[in-house]
Amino acid sequence: MPKTLLFIADPLESFKTHKDSTFTMMREAARRGHRLLACEPRQMHWQRGGPVRAAVREIVLTGRSGYGVHDWFETVTERTMPLHEADAVLMRKDPPFDSEFFYATHLLSQAEREGARVFNKPSALREHPEKLAILEFPQFIGPTLVTRSAADVRAFHAEHRDIICKPLDGMGGMGIFRVGADGMNLGAIVETLNRDGATTLMVQKYLPAIRDGDKRVLVIGGVPVPFSLARIPQGGEVRGNLAAGGKGVARPLTERDREIAGTLGPILAARGLLLVGLDVIGDSLTEINVTSPTCFREILDQTGCDVPALFVDALEAALAS
């Protein structure tokens, strides 16, 4: 039976449909006859005596997509509605996980109390910040430090000699620095990232396997997609993120990828995380992405593995349970 799906996302006009995973979800859902609604987090509101509401627009897809295409949808109607009137609410707002994202998850939790079905679960989004969520699974990660102390960072560098420093709220490779054995600019980098001890940062041992790609392993309903997307740094870059110019190459999962995904998948799914993106460099887990995991389009285009269909299958199964 067709369902009404409300996507909470960035402005539709900003979608890059040649690679946007939320667009592929919408396209597959529409193909199956589901009704599409959309809004931005800023359009949600709550007032005492009423439910959480949002100013939404119902859209239909035009069938046009690709690089530079902006007329990929048409608005049918616009109205304000309670979130619980949708059969499913899909939180697909891109990072950063800032205060406004955090507040949005609290509104979504209230909507859940009023009967809304929200994916990924708002409380699980709050409990799994994408950099810090790996700390629960030390058996799969490389040497890692989380600190506000410049002295701690210097000691970590002295031990490991080649390190990566990054902010906890970055996305797309933003704010990532590599410091080699000579320690060049380590002090300035730490000052920039932790603002004289005011902000926590993450430091990890540099993993040479990044040359072969930072793999995105998608897990849907606790089950890993059989292909990862290896994001390979280009030129002199240390970052493989597609947003930082990395080249995406789809590959079958390795035995280690399956071990990591097979362990984490059921645990995270049981917590209400229908869709997770695990980042793996070599044999090491580096991030757990839960806010708006991507790479659907690249894997589909390169392998024929229909990731959007796998996602909508899982969503329909969750709504039927």
Q: Are 257 and 215 in contact (CB under 8 A)?
A: yes
Q: Which of 166, 205, 215, 297 is catalytic?
A: 166
Told to judge if 247 belongs to the known catalytic residues of this protein, a careful annotator would answer: no
**Which residue in 153, 173, 143, 162 sits closest to 237, CA to CA?**
173
Is-catalytic flag, 121? no
Which residue in the list 130, 289, 297, 298 is annotated as catalytic?
Answer: 289
Rounded to whole angstroms, the Cα distance separating 177 from 190 reads 10
Set 112, 216, 257, 297: catalytic member: 216
Active-site residue identified among 53, 239, 241, 297? 239
Taking the C-alpha atoms of residue 150 and residue 179, their distance in angstroms, rounded to an integer, is: 14
Six-digit token string for 36: 């599409």
Which H helix or E strand runs over 296? helix 296-303
289 annotated active-site:
yes
| Amino acid occupying residue 274 | L
Among residues 20, 112, 287, 298, the one annotated as catalytic is 287
> Given 3, 117, 205, 231, which residue is catalytic?
231
Q: Is the dihedral of CA 270, 271, 275, 280 positive or negative?
A: negative
For every residue of 61-93, DSSP letters joined together read E-S--STT---SEEEEEEEEEEGGGSSEEEE-P
- Catalytic residue, chosen from 214, 279, 297, 298, is 279
CB atoms within 10 A of CB 180: 13
- Tell me the β-bridge partners of 53: 45, 82
Kindly name the residue from 19, 27, 131, 297 that is annotated as catalytic: 131
Nearest Cα to 153, choosing from 92, 197, 218? 197
How would you classify the pairing of strands 53-61 and 73-82? antiparallel
- 48 tagged catalytic: no
Decide if 279 is catalytic: yes
Residue 182 falls in the annotated catalytic set:
no
Q: Could you confirm whether 239 is annotated as catalytic? A: yes
DSSP labels for 135-195?
A: GG-GGG--SEEEES-HHHHHHHHHHHSSEEEEETT--TTTT-EEE-TT-TTHHHHHHHHHT
Whether residue 287 lies in the annotated active site:
yes
Distance CA 173, CA 293 (A): 14
List residues with catalytic annotation.
131, 166, 216, 231, 239, 279, 287, 289
